[in-house]
Amino acid sequence: MVTRDHSAWGYTSSTGLGFTHEEIVDAHFAACAPSYRAALDEVGIRPGWHVLDAGCGTGAFLPWLAELVGPGGKVSAIDIAVENAALARERMERAAPGPAIEVRRGDLLELPFADDTFDAVWCANTTQYLSDEELHRALRELRRVVRPGGLVAVKDLDASLITVRPADPFLFTDFFRQASASPGYARQLLRGRDLYRWLVEAGLESVRGRTLLLEHRAPLKPAARHFYGLACARIARQAVDLGFEGDWQPFLDPADPDHPLLHRHGYISEGNTVAVGAVPGELPGDR
């Protein structure tokens, strides 16, 4: 799962995967919370269901999942980073009483659950860390643990929609084009709008998908300014180190007064794709 380029992206957790540390994960969630909630609401999770959050990170989605399944439902969650699973567990222990919630360390490629355990699975911002072969395996696992008629929902970034203004509108596009020439994290960040096809090829039925454009305009809210300042700086540093062309200098320091995001017309966008499919078959008395 860990490709050689992850250290260059920074913010690694104990897994060695870039952009998985709580500092950057929680910052991204805070910056994009309304759009993330809109993506989750696309799924169709119902009260009383047992739902798995596969790749829960620090557990930011868990309160929303608990709200959707209600007191009669149940939420389980796994994350491959032991410290993130612990933080997610602590988050839910501090939350108000609600449905039963279980959080543990686990791997998408070998889920620690029996067949047909869940009514739905939610997998957000996680498939970007999987190679193509691993993504095939993970989708097979997600399908295995969901009951016939249940839902498999995957949400992830579409980096092809990242652009910053006022700046060269193709600066980040060109970075991902060049960085994705070889297998690695950059290429996997461009796979978002292919998730529909991946779910179809995994044998799921009634697959649907939508890409949401996330936009932030000046004056950026503090959460968005914080996250995108950090993220742009990491990409800019890679671009400079790799000798990529372009005016990356203003992005290297988030506090640079010439930073495009501090401009009165500052703007940044990214894409998030959510794809949902049903496991074939239907149990008697399907919910």
pLDDT in tens, 27-36: 999 999 999 9
Residue with tokens 């009383």: 48
The mean pLDDT of 129-144, rounded to a whole number, is: 97
Count CB neighbours of 155 within 10 A. 25
Closest CA to 204 of 144, 146, 143, 145: 143
Range of the structural domain that residue 204 is part of: 6-278
Under the banding of pLDDT at 50, 70 and 90, the label for residue 284 is very low
The mean pLDDT of 122-145, rounded to a whole number, is: 97
SS3 273: strand
Check whether 17 has a pLDDT greater than 70: yes
SS3 112: coil
Under the banding of pLDDT at 50, 70 and 90, the label for residue 287 is low
Report the C-alpha gap between 169 and 163 in whole angstroms.
Answer: 6
Report the C-alpha gap between 287 and 280 in whole angstroms.
Answer: 14
pLDDT at 248: 97
pLDDT at 285: 52
Under the banding of pLDDT at 50, 70 and 90, the label for residue 1 is very low
- What is the amino acid identity at position 108? L
Q: What is the CATH number of the domain that holds 121?
A: 3.40.50.150
C-alpha distances (whole Å) from 170 to each of 138, 142, 167, 246 are: 33, 36, 8, 9
The mean pLDDT of 55-82, rounded to a whole number, is: 95
Closest CA to 242 of 2, 45, 34, 9: 9
SS3 51: strand
Domain membership of residue 1 (yes or no) is no
pLDDT at 6: 78
pLDDT at 2: 38
Percentage of the chain surpassing pLDDT 70?
96
Check whether 79 has a pLDDT greater than 80: yes
Report the C-alpha gap between 264 and 261 in whole angstroms.
Answer: 8
pLDDT at 100: 79
pLDDT at 265: 97
The mean pLDDT of 78-106, rounded to a whole number, is: 88
- Run of H or E including 229: helix 222-242
The total of structural domains in the chain comes to 1
Domain membership of residue 286 (yes or no) is no
Backbone Cα Rg of the chain = 19
Report the C-alpha gap between 14 and 1 in whole angstroms.
Answer: 13
Domain membership of residue 253 (yes or no) is yes
Closest CA to 146 of 120, 123, 127: 120
Closest CA to 79 of 45, 46, 112: 112
Phi, psi dihedral angles at 76 (to 5 degrees) = -115, 155
Domain membership of residue 46 (yes or no) is yes
Average pLDDT, the chain: 93
The mean pLDDT of 164-172, rounded to a whole number, is: 97
Domain membership of residue 76 (yes or no) is yes
SS3 220: coil
Check whether 253 has a pLDDT greater than 70: yes
Domain membership of residue 174 (yes or no) is yes
pLDDT at 118: 98
Domain membership of residue 68 (yes or no) is yes
Q: What is the pTM of this model?
A: 0.94
- Run of H or E including 174: helix 171-179
Under the banding of pLDDT at 50, 70 and 90, the label for residue 193 is very high
Give the end-to-end CA distance of the chain in Å, rounded to a whole number. 36
What count of Cα atoms within 13 Å lies in the side-chain half-sphere of residue 110?
2
